[in-house]
Chains A and B, each alone.
Chain A
Amino acid sequence: MPDVPVSRRSFLDTLLFTSVAAAGVAALAPIPFYLRPPPAMIPPRVTLGKASRFTSGTFETFAYGGRSAIVLHDGAALRVIDRHCTHQGCDVAWTPAKSRFECPCHGAAFAPDGTPVQGPHNGPLASIPFRTTPEGDLEVGE
């Protein structure tokens, strides 16, 4: 690399403006961490007993994160659904005879997986993640 003469002034200027830029970048670094919600705001996991007791056709409501949720085996799969209707927020109820969720307020209906099938709604019912622990317990939550 050829020697390019650099004056003291332009060297110090580069140093100064690089420092300003570095300080700016450093100041923004915490933002991605800040935006991730703290554990206290994520509802704790709930254990609902042995997963094996949920056989085809069984369902059970339970409290989750200040809301009401429902665990259900519709014959095809186990599902955990938030009962909060996406229309106006009433709690939907499981209607075994029609094999769907029905909202008592404005008549919306949702398939067992939460997909809207009729009536006013703003998207599907929320599914809540769940897993079966190595001990065979059904554990609901992130």
Chain B
Amino acid sequence: MSRLEERTGLRAALQSLEARLSRPLPPRSAGVVLGSVALFFILVQVISGALLAVYYVPSWSEAHASVTRIAKDVTFGWLVRSVHVWSAHLLVATVLLHLVRVFARGSYAKPREATWLAGVALLGVLMGAAFTGQMLPMDDEAVKGAEVAAAYARETGMADVVRGGSIVAQPMLTRMFAAHVIFVPLGLVVLVAAHVALVARHRLHGAEAAEGSSPVFLRGLGFSLLGAAALLATLAFVFPAGIGPPPDSPDAPKVAKPLWMFLPVYQAAKSVSGPLTLLLLLGPPAFLLAVPFLPRRLAVPLGALLLAVGIALGILGAAS
């Protein structure tokens, strides 16, 4: 036994990890890599986000200039920012596909309820990351979005908590920055650890039927990571993330739309107000948290309805 191995057990740990990852996959389960791809995008977010924090200035008056400097002056700054933005979109999209797949297969059933709940909580944290991250560049769209979010928050009596004061100003940017770079990563570490540990504990849904069949997880993981990295690199290089004009500049668009993942709520909120907004905001997460405890014949139609309405509202919101 080498000195390093004696002290760290690194090789034994890696071998045990490889053995776990080399198990055969259940039949018709190529989609199982979605979770691993999501984890890959989370790692990309942590690294690229840490790099962006090197130059970002969380100040109401200087944030826009500092992000512009990253995009224009810093060597490879445009690339780091572009990777962070595109990886965020791909991450949320991957997690949503993962969620729909797991829901459709009923993989959340006993004994995997806790895995599902940790996953839903992860989705919530990631949506929060997307929202808070969108405000940080402090372009016109970000400031308008912050006003809209504060308006929603007013319906729930949480406006002062979101704004950190009575108006949308520096305190809100400070809160969004703290949430984005401290609370979100902390939440991700805890929830990812729980989610992955639970997957390892209960193994994949249908794994019992998979003994001896092919392909192994590790190989699927290798191909999916290459595919995900290639897609991310293509998007980041071909469509570098832009930055809008500073707030209240003459060439700013009149209406700001939220990120695509918030479009269904944005569209629905146009026709409701008051306490109904609360239902609109809390209904979908409440349903997702209840899923493992609902009878399947109730959960499936409700979930399908929610998905169909969500997609329809999203398309309407994008087209409006």
Contact = CB atoms under 8 A, between A and B. Distances in A.
A88 interface: no
B284 interface: no
B13 interface: no
Contacts of B225: 20, 23
A4 interface: no
B228 to A, nearest CB: 10
B222 A30 contact: no
B226 A38 contact: no
Contacts of B233: 27
Interface string B57-85: 00000000000010001111101100000
Interface string A24-66: 0001001101111111110000000000000000000000000
A36 B76 CA distance: 10
B223 A40 contact: no
A31 B233 CA distance: 15
B51 A38 contact: no
Contact of B69 (A16, A27, A33, A40): A40
B222 A16 contact: yes
Nearest to B52: A34
A33 B226 contact: no
Interface residues of A, number: 18
Contact of B75 (A20, A27, A34): A34
Contacts of B74: 34, 37-38
A11 interface: no
B12 interface: no
Contact of B51 (A19, A34, A40): A34
Contacts of B69: 38, 40-41
B80 A34 contact: yes
Nearest to A33: B75
A16 B77 contact: no
Given A34-B80, A35-B54, A20 B222 contact: yes
Given A19-B226, A23-B226, A41-B69, A30 B219 contact: no
A36 B75 contact: yes
Interface in B227-246: 229, 233
A142 interface: no
Contacts of A41: 69, 73
A41 B73 CA distance: 9
A30 B76 contact: yes
B76 A33 contact: yes
Interface of B: 51, 54, 69, 73-77, 79-80, 219, 222-223, 225-226, 229, 233
Given A16-B219, A16-B222, A40-B73, 12 more contacts: A19-B226, A20-B226, A23-B229, A27-B229, A30-B75, A30-B76, A30-B79, A31-B51, A34-B75, A38-B74, A39-B73, A41-B73
10 shortest interchain CB distances as A-B pairs: A38-B73, A30-B76, A33-B75, A16-B222, A34-B76, A40-B73, A38-B74, A20-B222, A23-B229, A33-B76
